[in-house]
A and B are shown apart, each in its own frame.
Chain A
């Protein structure tokens, strides 16, 4: 058999061709003037010509083979550098205003990246694997552009005043403002600063949700219950619930005119109050949505404790309680710490619940939003707050890394373990039951409100007359002489949301899974850094990303705000770490020798990925698709900064309805969203089915759906 031929520069030639066509025909920018590169050249912007020329020369050199690789790398790199330089500092070169870069510019840059990475591989980098080189560098460039660049820009803008000049005194004044750090609430009736508030809320939410999650996990795993399906079902709900919906339901129940409040007032003469607005309300809402995640983490850890360890303790004459205290509990501790930290981070990133329930209790995420969207419109102040929020989140992640980095006792050996897990001591069992049962009732009550709320007149005021009025307002469909007409006021945002999510989900999956593949399967210089950078995107709260995108992409050379594209980009890079995690988990289960077998049979890396790796990764791919779709549909924090009248998203629309006091419509819309996502998730699951490899059932390695700050 003839083996694969060496590189003859065909790909380089194709790339140069694309760059040339893009230069001649396609609009250079994304918004505004739609002239092509050639058009701008005629206008005297000669700088546009250089990158295309570089690409053409590289293609010519690539025909000559490996010997020209050094020159090609220099040329492609130089072309890219020139594009960046001209994009950001073009004024210094030809004294003309900066231009927005769009499709044409993007294609030319892509061609240069492709050619540069192939030259790099020819020089021996990435084990001389061109495919890996191109994939890795492309992902890196994208992450740098759409995560690092905006965040760096926010960090920078924290030091600028409104006119854009460096102002360190203003920076200091903003950083140390009393409404940021004030502790007045502990010794007077004044309210505290936003940082103490945020930390207090985060710590409480982390502790409480872990406590509840532990109770659920112990009961499910050791409590001797016959059927724990209710727990599992409840743990799925928060994933498909937009984050502020729980807050809405809490208002309906416990607000001044809420159902429970009214009941208590009428029957027990307990006066109405606004206690739910502030720390208690936000805390309850956050704990409600965080407990299921804690439950999943801790249940996994409990399952990972080999029963024979506990049996060993018992054969050494330890009582049930002693065994629990001396064996089970210490083995659980790392998972508990992880759960607390995650709860803390999620609370910090949460935006929807404080927005609805916060009242005068301000936290960082909402304060950032009002600094940008409110009357004061002060991006510099928002940037400072974003920096503080980012610092808090990163500290939590860093603590997790330092404390928990190597402390995992989870002992899954692959050997059969026939031992029986120890049942809970009686006292513990009763205690967990007395916590779990009321909490399940509260959760059911809340989802009941969401289901019923859309179909009655005004559940917030106790007007329970059944009606379809709210769905009529939002989702009316009329027959006109022109055919179907979507008359409801919510249709636009709903359709945009579905479209944006449906485009973003596959892109997220591709980038996430490919990143995981490159990280797990290939070793190259800077792999650790690459891993760190991709995972860092995970740690950045949505509110920070939102502010960062506004600051970074509002001006040339990357002018994207107000477009649908920025929504898609935002989702792709917010959710990409979910794909990376799912991919890494799944790949580490697949023996590397499968890839190698394919390679020794003459398949290129690209072919191996397509025909062997990706088919085996199907469960992880599906999980990522579902998660990124659902996260995109339910995300609020980053997106409220980026929506416009033309590209409005469902969640932003609902938040506005809440703002205007139209609770029933908001609830109706929310329930519709939840049902829509349930249908989509189920359809995907039924459509794809379980992967069957012979007699062995392979279930998907779905990661815990943990993404910070939807």
Chain B
């Protein structure tokens, strides 16, 4: 599988009548990388994936796979395979026939097709299941058949459309790791669609977050989690406390003011028209302080940590502290201490 290819979108639009599903999207997936398209439902991520597959044709713009312009090619003519959300295993064919299907319809002899299929079934750990029907397999096994069927043609690009959504929570983590492992072992170019941000962070070289038909931000998982560019991103990836207020400088210190209370943030970068302070619930501490207007409303014990819901003048806060710390009583007045570097200053 030496021929993994890059995927490039240049100013791509996709319109259905008056609705624009993908608006002016440009990005590049380097060969051999796993890139995730992440976003809430209806954001255009699946449409983008189908544009790569050729199941939809772009209304405008250019799509390149490797160095070839494939914008006008149909799905059958592109060197791309896809693992569908529903797996789309042919229910009237057994496992082997499913995996052999690609080579057969592309003109391979039955013998070659079978050899290729058996090799790939071994790769996904399904040797011995050749004669089973899809309905006689568990969800995880079906998923692996779908992967084997997709990689049997050794495509330049492999696409996954929410591959974990039909699996139960325990299995998800394992299958996720298997997919990442296979991708790295075979050096595949993979484009992966999901709405689960944790899944996206865990498997990707790069994450592209889409919102409302456009790309909201792209970058490494750490980039996105630690340096979100907008309020939407801070909220969408991981949990965040978002407080609207104003920022001022005081002797190299940034001071944040909201509803009459102030917080010292240390030396952080403040962009123009900054309006919102964001921080992760586990990156702030609480200390008893009778003079503070913040009051603990309730708390929940969830195993590794305690969650505190705090009433503040600007609204409600969530703070997560390790269980080993002393418990704070409901109704106590507390002071908020955001860790250094944990404060994220965002434009409106």
Contacts and interface: CB of A to CB of B under 8 A. Distances in A.
Interface stretch (B84-92, B181-189, B273-281): B84-92
Contact of A600 (B80, B90, B103): B80
Interface string A585-612: 0000001011011111111100100011
A696 B90 contact: no
A602 B75 CA distance: 7
Interface in A683-698: 691, 693-696
Nearest to B136: A694
Contacts of A4: 76-77, 106
Interface residues of A, number: 30
A603 B76 contact: yes
B194 interface: no
A466 interface: no
Interface string A666-696: 0000000000000000000000000101111
A131 to B, nearest CB: 11
B86 A601 contact: no
B92 A601 contact: no
A601 B101 contact: yes
Contacts of A691: 92
B97 to A, nearest CB: 10
A594 to B, nearest CB: 5
A616 interface: yes
Interface bin, chain B? 35 or more
B90 A594 contact: yes
A604 B76 CA distance: 6
A2 B77 CA distance: 10
Contacts of B103: 1
A600 B76 CA distance: 5
A599 B84 contact: no
A128 B74 CA distance: 8
Instruction: From A129, A600, A603, A611, name the one whose CB has the most chain B CB atoms within 10 angstroms.
Output: A600
Instruction: From B57, B101, B135, B150, name the one whose CB has the most chain A CB atoms within 10 angstroms.
Output: B101
A528 interface: no
Interface in B87-138: 88-92, 101-103, 105-108, 133-136
B92 A615 contact: yes
Instruction: From B57, B76, B84, B103, name the one whose CB has the most chain A CB atoms within 10 angstroms.
Output: B76
B22 interface: no
Given A597-B88, A693-B133, A695-B136, A2 B82 contact: no
B295 interface: no
A600 B134 CA distance: 19
Nearest to B102: A601
Contacts of A45: none
Given A3-B79, A694-B133, A600 B53 contact: yes
Contacts of A694: 91, 133-136
Given A694-B133, A694-B134, A695-B135, A1 B81 contact: no
Contacts of B86: 591, 593
A612 B90 CA distance: 7
Given A601-B101, A693-B91, A129 B80 contact: no
A127 B55 CA distance: 10
Contacts of B74: 127-129, 599
A598 B105 contact: yes
A525 interface: no
B133 A602 contact: no
Instruction: From B53, B74, B79, B91, name the one whose CB has the most chain A CB atoms within 10 angstroms.
Output: B91
Instruction: From B55, B92, B103, B154, name the one whose CB has the most chain A CB atoms within 10 angstroms.
Output: B92
A601 B91 contact: no
A598 B101 CA distance: 8
B297 interface: no
A4 B105 CA distance: 9
A6 interface: yes
A600 B81 contact: yes
A598 B153 CA distance: 12
A163 B112 CA distance: 72
Contacts of A599: 54-55, 74-76
16 contacts: A1-B106, A3-B76, A3-B78, A3-B106, A4-B106, A128-B74, A593-B84, A598-B101, A599-B75, A600-B76, A602-B76, A602-B106, A604-B105, A616-B90, A691-B92, A693-B92
Interface of A: 1-4, 6, 127-129, 591, 593-594, 596-604, 607, 611-612, 615-616, 691, 693-696
Q: 8 nearest interchain CB pairs?
A: A694-B135, A601-B102, A597-B88, A593-B88, A603-B105, A694-B133, A599-B75, A693-B91
